[in-house]
């Protein structure tokens, strides 16, 4: 398969690239600052240009996107606006603009996260965008059925991320383990699924 990975330089993205290459797929790396292609998912024009340059592929995986992490009382309009335009609408647009770039039977996989189902203090903006993306994924899969498969990986807290935050990562899923979820979405035949670890 010919697969494009958006967010290829991130904690999970690097492992997705490594795993797919070990499966003998042609992998095109994309991120804001490096890789085979540049794309900023916060910018709709950048996503359109990415797809125009990419050509036809069998799968697109997006492991990019951020949202504000603050107590609800401290979240201001700009925090919500950035969160919505980055992790939510950025990935919505990866699906919307990408459907025509995917070969028959191919897929687009995006990323939400455990905070959609299990929110915690300071996660209001993240939980909002994760849950919204999961709902959109299910709906888009219905409308694109027979053309493009659409799935969303919802990883738990990742060990490397917890360690970087100074938190206990014992028993947490590693980025390499999370990469298996993305590979299953790209290589399988499911659609409209929220794939959790």
Q: Packing angle between helix 175-187 and helix 11-22, nearest 10 degrees? A: 60
Instruction: Locate the domains of the chain by residue range.
Output: 2-196
Total residues belonging to the chain: 197
Residue 150 pairs with which residues in a beta bridge?
Answer: 108
Question: Residue 66 — pLDDT band, cuts 50, 70, 90?
Answer: very high
Percent of the chain residues past pLDDT 70, beyond the cut: 100
Look at residue 147 in the predicted model and tell me its pLDDT: 95
Q: Which two tokens stand for residue 22?
A: 């070990």
Share the mean pLDDT of the chain: 97
Percent of the chain residues past pLDDT 90, beyond the cut: 98
CATH of domain 2-196: 3.40.50.720
> pLDDT per residue over 160-180, tens digit each?
999 998 999 999 999 999 999
> pLDDT per residue over 70-121, tens digit each?
999 999 999 999 999 999 999 999 999 999 999 999 999 999 999 999 999 9
Quote the CA–CA distance of 115 and 118 in Å, as a whole number: 5
Look at residue 2 in the predicted model and tell me its pLDDT: 98
Give CA separation, 114 vs 15, 117, 123, in Å.
Answer: 19, 6, 11
Task: Report the predicted TM-score, pTM, of the whole model to 2 decimal places.
Answer: 0.96
Look at residue 197 in the predicted model and tell me its pLDDT: 76
């Amino acid at each position: 398969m010919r697969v494009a990975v958006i967010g290829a330089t991130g904690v999970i993205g690097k492992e997705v690239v490594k795993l797919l290459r070990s499966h003998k797929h042609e992998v095109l790396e994309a991120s804001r600052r490096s890789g085979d292609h540049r794309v900023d998912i916060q910018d709709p024009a950048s996503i359109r240009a990415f797809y125009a340059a990419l050509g036809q592929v069998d799968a697109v995986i997006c492991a990019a996107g951020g949202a504000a992490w603050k107590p609800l009382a401290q979240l201001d309009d700009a925090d919500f606006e950035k969160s919505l335009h980055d992790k939510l609408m950025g990935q919505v647009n990866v699906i919307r603009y990408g459907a025509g770039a995917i070969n028959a039977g191919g897929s687009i996989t995006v990323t939400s996260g455990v905070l959609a189902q299990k929110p915690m203090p300071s996660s209001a903006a993240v939980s909002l965008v994760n849950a919204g993306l999961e709902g959109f994924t299910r709906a888009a899969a219905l409308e694109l059925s027979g053309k493009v498969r659409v799935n969303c990986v919802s990883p738990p807290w990742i060990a490397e991320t917890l360690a970087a935050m100074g938190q206990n990562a014992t028993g947490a899923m590693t980025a390499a383990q999370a990469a298996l979820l993305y590979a299953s979405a790209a290589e399988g035949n499911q659609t409209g699924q929220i794939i959790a670890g």
